[in-house]
Structure formats: C-alpha cells, structure tokens
Amino acid sequence: MISSKEELVAQASQIEEKEEQIKFIMNYFLENIQYNYAYLFAKGYAEGSISKVSSMYGLSINKTRIDGDSEFSITQSAVEGESKIHEDILDIRDKNSDDYNKFVEELRSYVTDVIKSHINNEIIVSKSVDSVMNQIEKCLREKSTIKYNDMDIECNNDISKVLIDFILKPKDYFPPEYDNGLIKSGVCEDYTNYLVDLFKELGFEAHNIGGTSELGHAWVIVKVGGEYKSVDLTRAVFIRDGFKGIPKEQTSEDWLYTDLDKMFTMQKTRTITEIDGRKLESIISGKNYSAENFSELMNEISKTEPTIRSLVKNALEGRITVDDIRNAEKEQQRNNAARDEENLNIETD
C-alpha cells in the first residue's frame, strides 16, 4: 500500500524499463484518484459559459431567505456569454421564492439530472451532487455588510452571485485534494501539472499539453525511447467512471499510455494548441500530425530560452541574479519581435 509520493517514486524507480515505470505510475492513479465532477458542474459544463460579469453588485430582496438570514441579498449579472445552468437555477429560485426547503429540493433534483447526463455511475453522481449542494448552501448563508444610501445593510449571497462565482473561480470552491504529496482528486489540469513534475522527478522529458477533446483539455506527453507518448489520466478515469459519449470499445488502458497517432485516431476532435504554455502557430490534429514533424517541433521548443518563471526559481535558489532575469526578458522580447517581423515578411511575400 503506497501512502506517500516518496513511496510511489521509490517503487517506480526500482523498475528498470522506463515504459513500465510510467505504466506503474498511471495504473496506481487509475486505481486511487477521483475526478472532481462537481467542478464540471460549477463550470457549467456543455451548457454555455459566462465570460464577463458586471463589476457592480446589485441588491435585492433575499429570495432564498430562511430563519436567521438577512432580508436582502447581493446579486450579480452576466454582461457577456450565457449559461443554461445559471438561467435554469434562477427560474427554480423565482418559482420557490417563498419556500426555501422546496427550492433546495428542486435544486438538488436539477443538479442530479445535470450530472447524471454525463456520468453513468450512481455513487459518483450522489457524491458529486452532495459536494455541489453543500457548497451552494454554504455560500448562500454567507453574510456581507454593504453601504447603501449611507446605511450599513447586512446581506446574504443570492444564488445568481454564487453561480457566477462558481463559473469564474471554480477552483476556489472545488479545489484539487492532496495527501502526503499524492494527488487524490482534481480535474485535467491538476492531473497534468502533477504528473509532469512527477515524471521529471523520475528523469523523463515530460510536457504539459493544452488543446481540445470535446472541450478544452490538458494532458501529458512524455518521451520514452526516443518517441513521444500521450499520457491522459483524465480520459482513462472518465472511462472507468462511466462518462457518457466515449466509444464503448475504448478502455482506460488505451488512454493511460499510447502513441500520438493512436490518440488522434481514438478521438477525432483531439487537438494540440499549446505545449508547456507556449501557444503553437499551427494547431496539431489528426489531419496534420506526423511523428517526424512533431519531434522537430519538440526539439525547437527545447532550444528556446528558459521561461522567466524558471529564471526566478533559479534566482531564489541563488544561482542567478535579478539582472540576469531582466537581461533574459529583454533578449526574449527581441527574439519575439524578430520572429514576428520574419512572419510578417513571409505573409507579405
């Protein structure tokens, strides 16, 4: 039984074959990690998104008021974008404005239906619904004091503000969980950030990949034996949990460790748009992927200047000075300008 990151690394290090090390790590997490489906609900998954909200809060009569709550509530409205989940829940609020218990009952039923539309696993659905509802009720009960016509007015949060906060800052409410250095739950970007660091600790060349599956996605690409392999823990966990819409013939093992060309074949909508935070000039998909071209791209990326973040880390450890960081930043700006001018000349020609 592995109880810490140190134990996991130690056991993996005892395996001679590099490929088997990766498979050992991935099988461990497939058996032990949870996906945070409450986070997906908070983001309004597949139901649209709100990209901009009013900078001014509104004040209204508290429509979800129970004993001990304030008479007024703080509201917030969307300026750009929309979310069906957000609108549906506001309708539930308005329909049950005089009965808090009925509001909670109907809201729980609605949250259950939304999560069940994605996951075919009753236990996971139940736990996810509990997580969402506990956070909603906690946020609804929070109180603030605001100035209104020179008066201090005590307010609760309206469900409109709670849901918009969820959409814009989901990790504040549904963060990843860790125990003794091991990630226990999270979403794709949490898995990816963790695994990249873990694989590097084991001596692998590993990269944080951004792109799309059905929606925005993050996963790992790792180099083994001179070849780049895809490591997608999220997709493997989805299959394990009964996430709907994935072809039944695919298995978790198909996604834990696979060739890039097979990855693109298994999911036609898969694309790579950035590598280690660097946006690519051309999106990579199954239509234009080749192992040779990808290796050339990765060689180019590995030759680029260190990021400012890594330079800052080195400075904190006393290996370089602040002046070195400033000079590197200026050099990077000059290189970027030269590359932009070169691209412009190519387009003009």
| Residue 338 pLDDT greater than 60, yes or no | no
Q: Give the pLDDT confidence score for residue 21 in this predicted structure.
A: 96
Which runs of E-coded beta strand occur in the chain? 34-35, 50-53, 58-61, 72-75, 78-81, 143-148, 151-157, 177-179, 182-186, 205-212, 216-224, 227-231, 258-259, 271-275, 278-285
Query: Could you give the strand order of the β-sheet that contains 258-259, starting from the edge strand earlier in sequence?
Result: 258-259, 227-231, 216-224, 205-212, 271-275, 278-285
Go through the domains of the chain in sequence order and give each one's CATH number: 5-35+177-304 (3.10.620), 38-173 (no CATH), 306-349 (no CATH)
Candidate from 291-300, 303-312, 329-338 with smallest mean pLDDT: 303-312
Candidate from 12-16, 166-170, 180-184, 197-201 with smallest mean pLDDT: 166-170
What is the mean predicted confidence (pLDDT) over 43-58? 75
CA atoms of 30 and 34, how far apart (whole Å): 8
Q: Give the pLDDT confidence score for residue 332 in this predicted structure.
A: 61
Candidate from 13-27, 226-240, 297-311 with smallest mean pLDDT: 297-311
Cα separations in angstroms, 180 against 2, 36, 189, 203 = 10, 19, 20, 21
Q: Give the pLDDT confidence score for residue 53 in this predicted structure.
A: 81
Average pLDDT, the chain: 87
pLDDT tens digits, one per residue of 138-176: 999 999 998 878 889 999 999 999 999 998 889 999 999
Cα separations in angstroms, 11 against 2, 7, 191, 204, 209 = 9, 6, 20, 16, 26
| Residue 223 pLDDT greater than 60, yes or no | yes
**154's tokens:** 């005590």
pLDDT tens digits, one per residue of 87-136: 999 999 999 998 999 999 999 999 999 999 999 999 999 999 999 999 99
CA atoms of 48 and 306, how far apart (whole Å): 37
Burial class (CB in 10 A: 0-12, 13-18, 19+), 332: middle
Q: Which of 275, 146, 143 is nearest to 207 (CA)?
A: 275
What is the mean predicted confidence (pLDDT) over 27-51? 85
Model's pTM, two decimal places?
A: 0.82
Report the percentage of the chain scoring pLDDT > 90.
Answer: 68
Q: Give the pLDDT confidence score for residue 20 in this predicted structure.
A: 96
- DSSP-based three-state secondary structure for 72: strand
Q: Give the pLDDT confidence score for residue 343 in this predicted structure.
A: 42
pLDDT tens digits, one per residue of 235-265: 999 999 999 999 999 999 999 999 999 999 9
Q: When comparing pLDDT for 324 and 286, which is higher?
A: 286
Query: Could you give the strand order of the β-sheet that contains 72-75, starting from the edge strand earlier in sequence?
Result: 58-61, 72-75, 151-157, 143-148
Candidate from 39-53, 77-91, 236-250 with smallest mean pLDDT: 39-53
Vertex 8: Cα angle to 128 and 31 (nearest 5): 35
DSSP letter for each residue of 86-122: HHHHHHHHHHTTT-HHHHHHHHHHHHHHHHHTTB--H
* Nearby residues of 62 by Cβ (< 8 Å), 6 or more positions away: 69, 70, 71, 72, 73, 155, 156, 158
Contact 49, 83 (CB under 8 A): yes
| Residue 185 pLDDT greater than 60, yes or no | yes
